[in-house]
């Protein structure tokens, strides 16, 4: 049997880093994986790879959390957030830079809000960092708008 560690983000572990499933560290025993889990944050579960559907990685390569499952599966692991997509899908590419930037910004703000909910005390102490981060994320959008 082979095991991988899955994070809440839908990514998997490679040492201390979160990576797509195809790059994830494989553990031969559950014990080995659980030893690593002990010092990692935001772990969703230890996954037995033999229990994954065969087409798991097909979804990872083609489906999109914003544009849906390319195979029309109701339980698409990308759409449900079980795994993170590897690439921008065709629709991502076609929708153009402006919409892409806007969506990235919305997602980034959503991530920050999640962080703020999780670590409220830290965010209260560093409102300037919060603001700077938002502005940095928004910069490509401003540049794009100006050049129109």
Fill in the DSSP letter of residue 85. -
Phi-psi region of 15 (alpha: psi -120 to 50; beta: other; left: phi over 0): left
- Can you tell me whether residue 15 is helix, strand or coil? coil
The neighbouring-strand residues paired with 14 are 17
Q: Which residue stretch of 48-56, 63-71, 120-128, 131-139 sits at the interface with Zn ion (rule: CB under 5 A)?
A: 63-71
Which listed residue (43, 49, 67, 123) binds Zn ion by CB under 5 A?
67
CB of 68 to Zn ion, least distance (A): 8
Query: Dihedrals φ, ψ of 52, to 5°?
Result: -75, 145
CB of 58 to Zn ion, least distance (A): 8
Q: Are 26 and 47 in contact (CB under 8 A)?
A: no
- CB count within 10 Å of CB 147 equals 6
Smaller CB separation from Zn ion, 11 or 69: 69
Fill in the DSSP letter of residue 78. T
Which listed residue (91, 111, 122, 124) binds Zn ion by CB under 5 A?
91
Q: Is residue 69 a contact residue for Zn ion (CB under 5 A)?
A: yes
Contacts with Zn ion: how many residues (CB under 5 A)? Answer: 10
Smaller CB separation from Zn ion, 3 or 60: 60
CB of 55 to Zn ion, least distance (A): 8
What is the distance of C-alpha 32 from the center of its chain? 24
Query: Pattern 41-60, binding to Zn ion, x per CB under 5 A?
Result: ------------------x-
Binding site for Zn ion (CB under 5 A): 59, 63-64, 66-67, 69, 76, 89, 91-92
């Amino acid at each position: 049997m082979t095991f991988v560690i899955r994070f809440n983000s839908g990514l998997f572990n490679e040492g201390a880093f979160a990576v797509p499933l195809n790059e994830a560290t494989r553990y031969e025993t559950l014990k080995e994986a659980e030893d690593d889990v002990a010092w990692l944050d935001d772990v969703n579960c230890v996954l037995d790879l033999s229990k994954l559907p065969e087409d798991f990685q097909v979804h990872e390569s083609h489906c999109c959390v914003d544009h849906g499952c390319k195979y029309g599966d109701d339980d698409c692991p990308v759409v449900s957030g079980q795994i993170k997509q590897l690439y921008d899908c065709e629709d991502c590419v076609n929708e153009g830079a402006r919409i892409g930037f806007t969506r990235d910004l919305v997602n980034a703000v959503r991530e920050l809000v999640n962080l703020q909910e999780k670590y409220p005390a830290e965010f209260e102490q560093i409102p300037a960092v919060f603001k700077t981060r938002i502005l940095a994320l928004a910069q490509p959008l401003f540049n794009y708008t100006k050049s129109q």
